[in-house]
Structure 1
Amino acid sequence: MTAPALNLVERSDVEARLGETLAEPEIAQVDSLIEYASDKLRALVEDIDERIASGALRFGLVRGTLVTAICRALDTLRIGIRVRSEQYPEISTTYADSDASLVYFTDDELEPLQPSGAGDGGAFSIRLG
């Protein structure tokens, strides 16, 4: 049996992006989000660990993508998972339908992480005349 893969980012990376030092219970939340986001990105991006090790994929790009998704998820937890908006001074809260994915990556975030090479296809033009 192989050892589990290490997380691709650390709590200190998230704290640096947020500009704050986390305290409980957010430490436990961020640690959980880091593990989940790392595993999720590995499932979405082909051979990510090998490509980082070989230098074919820049680790800073991977770290930035993961930390962005983790901060987005932490912000959702801070506000409230289903809270869409709140208004004051009269307290009014609007709730949204629950989203199944707390940690997610946008297409724009995933695109630069995907392997590229000849034969991938794509759009082209043929000019006649």
Structure 2
Amino acid sequence: MLGNKENNKQILRYVLPSVSAMIVSFTYNMVDGMFVGQGVGPSALASVNLAMPFTQIMTGIASMLAIGGATAMAIYKGKEDTKRANQVFFDKYTVSDYCWTIHNRGRFLCLNSDRPFVWGNKIAAGTDGYLY
């Protein structure tokens, strides 16, 4: 890989927990799908599968902000530019706050409507007990 065994150990030390967390997350999603499919029914499973891309997009945005912000802060801290590192942290926090505010306002509006995210009567009819 990098030719230095110490670097390889250091990389694995940081990569393995991240990969493990992703495996646990995807396993949880599969098991949740099994329980919803068996316990509530196929219509509820369809609604979970329709909502999953939105969940993955939000997870991707959160990861992008966290990893990118931490990397930029580490670069500036390495250059001993604490003022710029603090500015990067503040910018990352502000963007993250805006993203979650928009997300939560959208979710609030959808949950207060009569039928949030209706893709058809069959799916909506099977999800009343699951969503509320």
Whose strand proportion is higher, 1 or 2?
1
Whose helix proportion is higher, 1 or 2?
2
Please tell me whether Structure 1 or Structure 2 has the larger radius of gyration of its CA atoms.
Answer: 2
TM above 0.5: no
- With the length of structure 2 as denominator, give the TM-score of the two structures: 0.35
- With the length of structure 1 as denominator, give the TM-score of the two structures: 0.35
